[in-house]
Amino acid sequence: MENNSMTVWQFFVLTLSFLAGTSFFFLPGGLIAVAKQDAWMVPIWAGAIGILAALLWLRLARQHPGMSIIQICTQVAGKPIGSLLAIMYISYFIQLSVFITRNVGDFMKQTLMPITPLTVFHVMFLIITAYAVMKGIDTIARSSELLFIIMAITFILIFCMALIEWDWNRFQGSFRMNVWETVKETRYIFGFPFLESLVFLMLFPFVQSKVKRSFILAIVVATAMLSVTTLFTIGVLGVPRASHDTYPLFVIAQEVHIGTFFEHLESTVALILLAAIFIKLSIAYYCSVLGLCQLFRISSRFWVTLPLILLISGLALGYDNVVENIEFSQRYDFEYTLLYSVFIPCLLLVVSWIRKGRGKGREGSAS
């Protein structure tokens, strides 16, 4: 179905944008509410767990070169059970697309257009994403290269301009957190965004070379960026304000002003967030479509992509409000993602080793 490929740089940008793009906006406030002045440490150990999970996925991909997770499931577990596992992964990719779609709807409704119905945001954004998916992964990769540069420059400018509000006194009381309680209360960061990157098991076959180095490096850079962003948020807003804002980075952009020329940059930040969400949603949406096409041997993406617009936009209305969405993520996201990111890959890896050992044993007995 897909004969395109990505360069190492494009894959790095895709992975980094997927991990860090939306995390900048949605994670710092919740982390600061739990860990206070020490919240910047939380992404560090979460990133370490993400690297360990990435090594597991890379090992599985190395055992089955040139194959996606859908193809690995059907080959390792056989057609009946493997197809069931493949459907589970496809449902996870679709559910991830639903979460991302709802995030963009909640953000737009809360910050910019409170009267507009959520469905309008969902459908309009999904139509653009569906067009990118039909064009292929190479189009998504090239788009992410351009958008990544724009996002990076904008973030750097906002950070530099907001530094005038920095106050070291806001870090008083640091290094007093209960590590175990903090890990327990912030365990959702393991799932979002680090374990969610299992979707790249669908994209490994498209990378020309150096998959491991590029993937691990992207996780390390994303971890450092998320930690610095959380530190920056504490230094600029302080713990009380940052912990009560749903989108603290958006609040920082609202309050940035240098004279009368640079002020009210929240609209610019909103556009940057939409670009980051577009990249992440495009990857999850593409993996959903690719998985369905591989499992059911569908040659054209068109007939799979369009119906998913209605399915994803409908499922995205499953939450009553943004608070319910955040609570579900904090309570269940880690456990939900753990099944797909750790348990099933470990099972597939063990079965692969057993089958490989049996194959060598048969060859030895035959000789």
pTM: 0.93
Which tens digits make up the pLDDT trace of 19-54? 987 888 888 999 999 999 999 999 999 999 999 999
Which carries the bigger pLDDT value, residue 114 or residue 84?
84
Q: CB within 8 A of 193, min separation 6: which ones?
A: 18, 19, 20, 22, 23, 27, 222
Name the E strands within the chain.
257-258, 262-263
Which tens digits make up the pLDDT trace of 300-336? 888 899 999 999 999 999 877 777 777 888 888 899 9
Question: Whole-angstrom Cα distance, residue 60 to residue 52?
Answer: 13
Q: How many CB atoms lie within 10 A of CB 264?
A: 11
Q: CB within 8 A of 34, min separation 6: which ones?
A: 42, 182, 185, 186
> How high is the pLDDT of residue 319?
77
With a cut of 80, say whether residue 234 has pLDDT above it. Answer: yes
Question: Whole-angstrom Cα distance, residue 267 to residue 287?
Answer: 30
**Length, in residues, of the chain:** 367
Which tens digits make up the pLDDT trace of 338-357? 999 999 999 999 999 988 77
Question: Whole-angstrom Cα distance, residue 216 to residue 50?
Answer: 9
> How high is the pLDDT of residue 67?
94
Question: Whole-angstrom Cα distance, residue 134 to residue 140?
Answer: 10
- pLDDT band of residue 364 (cuts 50, 70, 90) is low
> How high is the pLDDT of residue 330?
82
- Averaged confidence pLDDT in the chain: 89
Which tens digits make up the pLDDT trace of 125-176? 999 999 999 999 999 999 999 999 888 888 888 888 888 889 999 998 888 8
> How high is the pLDDT of residue 208?
78
| Consecutive H or E run containing 78 | none
Rounded to 5 degrees, φ, ψ at 85 are -65, -40
With a cut of 90, say whether residue 266 has pLDDT above it. Answer: no
Residue type, 291: G
> How high is the pLDDT of residue 58?
96
> How high is the pLDDT of residue 150?
86
> How high is the pLDDT of residue 140?
94
